[in-house]
Amino acid sequence: MRQFTIGDVTIDAICERSGPWRTPETIFLGYDREASESKLRELGPVLYDAAQNRLVMAYHSFVLRWPGRTVLIDTCTGEDKGYPPPMDFPKQPWLDGLAALDLAFEDIDVVFSTHLHIDHCGWNTRLREGRWVPAFPRARYLFVRGEYEYWKQATARGENPPGKVWTMNCEPVMAAGQCELVEADYTLDGVMSLKLTPGHSPFHCCVDISSRGEHASVVGDLMHHALQLVEPDTSTVFCADPKAAARSRRAFLAEAAEKNTLLFPSHFPGPVAGRVQAEGKGFRWQFA
Ligand SMILES: [Zn+2]
């Protein structure tokens, strides 16, 4: 992804993996191939591999920089976590992506995850002498209180997933004293503000960026694929509350279309960022 500028803020992506991924049948709830395959084909080969019937999907972190701040949003799956395939991504592309932005782990001031799923908090920690320690030694890690507590309790109940995701990626940050639990209306420097968009996870938050009259939003898993713009009511098998996820998506996208907000979804490949326009019963995606 090329660098984008919103007022005083630059936005860059770090890509952990990209390419044909799962079939639509295994991701979208209630997927009807007869009704929806033509819509996928219309989105084009950047987003849908028609020959293999695979969604093309990527995994991204985003780096926001403005004077005095370097903020990392969503930390992909990370290294040494021992996840089984297909989540055992190689670590080098992400490390190369960080270095390509002229950044070291020490340079990150603030880390935030839109939600605490396996692919959004992985690089929070690294394994050192058999222990998970914060990967970003100077950073303050912001967790939305409700999201943190939800996964803490799910882990205590032994649910799998999350399995060890919270134990490896979140708890060690708290133990190291680098964690700050914030509410879902948190703002930073008047530039970055959280926006609660529940459904995919209980306290999923988008990150609105506003500077000098320009607007953008890092939208996490508000949608996993552009088909969910054409069909905003389609949620995924990974959504905790599919109906709430659809409500959040519709409301958020309606506002984004009105304001012409530049959107950065976690899992869109290629140019990654784009804008939406209202069209028919949904929206039309246009890569920026
Ligand atoms: Zn995700």
Ligand 1: centre distance to CA 15 (Å): 13
Cα–Cα dist 161/10, whole Å: 34
CATH number reported for the structural domain that contains residue 44 in this entry: 3.60.15.10
Residue range of the domain that includes 167: 4-287
Ligand 1: centre distance to CA 223 (Å): 9
Instruction: Write the pLDDT tens digit of every residue in 122-165.
Output: 999 999 999 999 999 999 999 999 999 999 999 999 886 667 89
Cα–Cα dist 239/22, whole Å: 16
Ligand 1: centre distance to CA 176 (Å): 26
Ligand 1: centre distance to CA 258 (Å): 26
Ligand 1: centre distance to CA 221 (Å): 5
Structure tokens at 286: 């246009």
Instruction: Write the pLDDT tens digit of every residue in 241-251.
Output: 999 999 999 99
Instruction: Write the pLDDT tens digit of every residue in 226-275.
Output: 999 999 999 999 999 999 999 999 999 999 999 999 999 999 999 999 99
pLDDT, position 161: 64
* Counted domains in the chain: 1
Sequential DSSP letters for 110-132: EEE-SS-STTTSGGGEEEETTEE
Q: Is 179 helix (H, G, I), strand (E, B) or coil?
A: strand
Residue 141 · residue 180 · CB < 8 Å: yes
Rg of the chain (C-alpha set): 18
Closest listed residue to residue 176, CA positions, set 138, 146, 145, 122:
138
Ligand 1: centre distance to CA 265 (Å): 9
Question: Stretch 202-218: mean pLDDT, rounded?
Answer: 97
Instruction: Write the pLDDT tens digit of every residue in 12-55.
Output: 999 999 999 999 999 999 999 999 999 999 999 999 999 999 99
Ligand 1: centre distance to CA 19 (Å): 15
Ligand 1: centre distance to CA 200 (Å): 9
pLDDT, position 241: 97
State how beta strands 54-66 and 48-49 pair.
Answer: antiparallel
Ligand 1: centre distance to CA 76 (Å): 8
Cα–Cα dist 245/234, whole Å: 9
Percent of the chain residues past pLDDT 90, beyond the cut: 96
